[in-house]
Amino acid sequence: MGLLELTAAEAVNLMRLGDLKVADYVGALIGQIKAQNHLNAFISYDENLLRRQADELDRKRSSGEKCGALFGLPIAVKDNIETSDYITTGGTGALKSYRPHRNAPFLQSLLDQDALVLGKTNLHELAFGITSNNGVFGPVHNPYNIDMIAGGSSGGSAAAVAARMASFAIGTDTGGSCRIPAALCGIAGFRPTMKRYGAEGAIPITHTRDTLGTMARTVEDIQLIDQAITKTNDPKPLTNLKDIRLGVSKEYFFGNLDKDIEKATENALIVLRGLGAEIVEANIENLSALNEAVSFPICLYEATQDMEKYLIRTGLSFDQLIEGMGSPDVKGLYQEIYSNPSISAEHYQNLIKTDRPKLQRAYRDYFQNNGLDAMVFPTTRLSACPIGQDETVVINGIEIPTFDAYVHNTDPSSNAGLPGTSVPMGMTANCLPMGLEFDGPEGSDDRILQIASLFQKAIGYLPTPKSGG
C-alpha cells in the first residue's frame, strides 16, 4: 500500500512504531498537494514549516520521548478555524492578513497529542453556503469530477481527504457543512453533539448551531480522533447491528430524491438489515414546520451579532468585512441582514426558549417512543452539481434552490443540536459519490459512529478518484 492510501489510524500506528518517518509521510502529502493543486482545496500551507515540524517529531521519537496518541498526523484545517502558525482568512478578502495569536482549543488538543497542521483549506466564503464556490479564492473542485462542486462549506477539507492530500481534516458544521461535502466527495463526515467539541476559535455564524467537526475516509479514523479528544471508549462496542433499531422518517427525508440517491438508499437499507438492524418506518411528526420555525430566523439573527463580537479581535469593522467579500450570495446576505435585522429581540428569545425546545422534544420523543438507537436517511437529495449552479438545481424535473436541495436533510438535527455521521453508500451512474447519514439522540455520538463504521465496512469503500492519483 502506498503512503497516500494509508488511513489516519494506519499512518499514526506506523509512525509511533518508528516504521514510518513523519518526514516521509509529510513529504508524500506535500507532493500530492502540489500534484492536485488544480482542485483548489488549500488556501495556504508552509512546506518548510511542515518539514521542520516533521523532523522535530522524528527526533522526539528517536530520543525515546513519549509519543502522543496522534503522533505525526498531519491535519488539514478549514480556514475559518484559528491557527497561530497560519493566517486564518475565513475564505474572505478582508481577513487575508489576519493571524490569530492562538490555535482554536479543539485543534490545540489535537496538536498536544503530537498532530500537526498540514495547511488551511478552502471553503464557502465565511462558511455561509454549501457549494464552496468561493468568490475570493476560487471554487473547490470535486476530486471525482473537477467540473462539479465539492459541497460546503467545508469543501476544501473534504476534497483534500478524498484526493489523498490528507488522511484527516477538521471543519465546521452549522447546518451540514461537514456532512454535505463528505457525502459529495465520497468520505465520512461527523457532526458531534453540540458542545462535545465546541466552536471556540472558529469564525462564527450562529452560536446556537456552530460546532467543529471531522472528516476522514473511514469512520474508524473519526472514532480515533473522537476518542483521543473525549477520552471515551465504549466498553461494549458493537460487533454487529443485531437488536439495533434504526428509524426511517420517509415523510421529510425521502421526498423528491434523485433516482440514483433513492436506489442507493434502498440498497443501503438492505445492507443494514443484513447486518441485523431492524428498520422502523415512523415519521417525526410536523418536522418541516418545527424546523422552518427556527432554522433561518435564529441563524440570521445571530449571524450579525456573533460576527460583530468576533470582529473586535480582528480590528475590522462590519463594513470592512462586507467590502472584502467576493461571493455574491454571501455579500448580498450579509448586506441584507446587517442593514435590516430579520426578527426582533423578543421574537428571537421566543424562538430560543419555546420553538427550538419543541423541535428538540420532537426528536427526543421520536427516538424514545419508537425505541430507536438512531435514524437513517440519505445525506443529500442529489449528488454534486456543476460548479456555477449556485442559485437553482433540478431534481426529477423540478427546479429548486440549490441551498435547500443540499441542506434539506442535514438541517433539522443541526438545529436540534444532535450528532450525525455521513458515510459513503455508493456511486451514481455518472460516477459521483453519494452519502448515507446516521443521526442519533443527544450524546449518542459513540453509538452512531459504531453503527456507521459497521455499515461502511459492509458496503465497501469507494475507489480512489482519478484526480487523487
**Annotated catalytic residue 383:** no
pLDDT of 469 reads: 41
* Residue recorded with cell 438492505: 270
Residues sharing a CB contact under 8 Å with residue 59, sequence separation 6 or more, in sequence order: none
Residue type, 33: I
* Residue recorded with cell 455564524: 205
**Annotated catalytic residue 132:** no
Which pTM value belongs to this model? Answer: 0.97
End-to-end CA distance of the chain: 13
* Rounded to 5°, angle at Cα 289 from 287 and 295: 90
* Half-sphere exposure at residue 461, Cβ-oriented, CA atoms within 13 angstroms: 15
pLDDT of 233 reads: 73
C-alpha closest to that of 161 among 201, 190, 195, 204: 190
53 and 84 Cβ atoms separated by less than 8 Å: no
Number of neighbours of residue 292 by Cβ within 10 angstroms: 14
Q: What is the CA radius of gyration of the chain?
A: 21
32 and 469 Cβ atoms separated by less than 8 Å: yes
Dihedral (CA of 382, 385, 388, 389) sign = negative
The phi and psi torsions of 192 (rounded to 5 degrees) equal -80, 170
Instruction: Tell me how far apart the alpha carbons of residues 219 and 352 are, in angstroms, rounded to a whole number.
Output: 33
pLDDT by residue for the chain (469 residues), tens digit each? 599 999 999 999 999 999 999 999 999 999 999 999 999 999 999 999 999 999 999 999 999 999 999 999 999 999 999 999 999 999 999 999 999 999 999 999 999 999 999 999 999 999 999 999 999 999 999 999 999 999 999 999 999 999 999 999 999 999 999 999 999 999 999 999 999 999 999 999 999 999 999 999 999 999 999 999 998 777 678 999 999 999 999 999 999 999 999 999 999 999 999 999 999 999 999 999 999 999 999 999 999 999 999 999 999 999 999 999 999 999 999 999 999 888 999 999 999 999 999 999 999 999 999 999 999 999 999 999 999 999 999 999 999 999 999 999 999 999 999 999 999 999 999 999 999 999 999 999 999 999 999 999 999 999 999 864 4
Residue type, 357: P
Q: Locate the domains of the chain by residue range.
A: 3-468
**Annotated catalytic residue 153:** yes
161 and 167 Cβ atoms separated by less than 8 Å: yes
pLDDT of 1 reads: 59
61 and 71 Cβ atoms separated by less than 8 Å: yes
SS3 245: strand
Residue type, 384: A
List the catalytic residue out of 120, 132, 153, 467. 153
pLDDT of 419 reads: 98
Per the DSSP assignment, residues forming a β-bridge with 119 are 76
pLDDT of 17 reads: 96
Instruction: Tell me how far apart the alpha carbons of residues 452 and 449 are, in angstroms, rounded to a whole number.
Output: 5
Residues sharing a CB contact under 8 Å with residue 18, sequence separation 6 or more, in sequence order: 61, 62
C-alpha torsion 48→50→54→60, nearest 10 = 90
For 396-463, give the DSSP string.
Answer: TTEEEEHHHHHHTTTHHHHHHT--EEEEEEEE-TTS-EEEEEEE-STT-HHHHHHHHHHHHHHH-PPP
List the catalytic residue out of 177, 327, 413, 414. 177
Q: Name the architecture of domain 3-468.
A: Alpha-Beta Complex (3.90)
The phi and psi torsions of 144 (rounded to 5 degrees) equal -85, -15
Which three cell numbers mark 179?
Answer: 456532512
Residue type, 314: T
List the catalytic residue out of 21, 78, 120, 331. 78
Which three cell numbers mark 334?
Answer: 450579509
Which three cell numbers mark 427?
Answer: 456511486
Task: Tell me the Ramachandran region of residue 201: left when phi exceeds 0, alpha when psi lies from -120 to 50, beta otherwise.
Answer: left
Residues sharing a CB contact under 8 Å with residue 341, sequence separation 6 or more, in sequence order: 301, 304
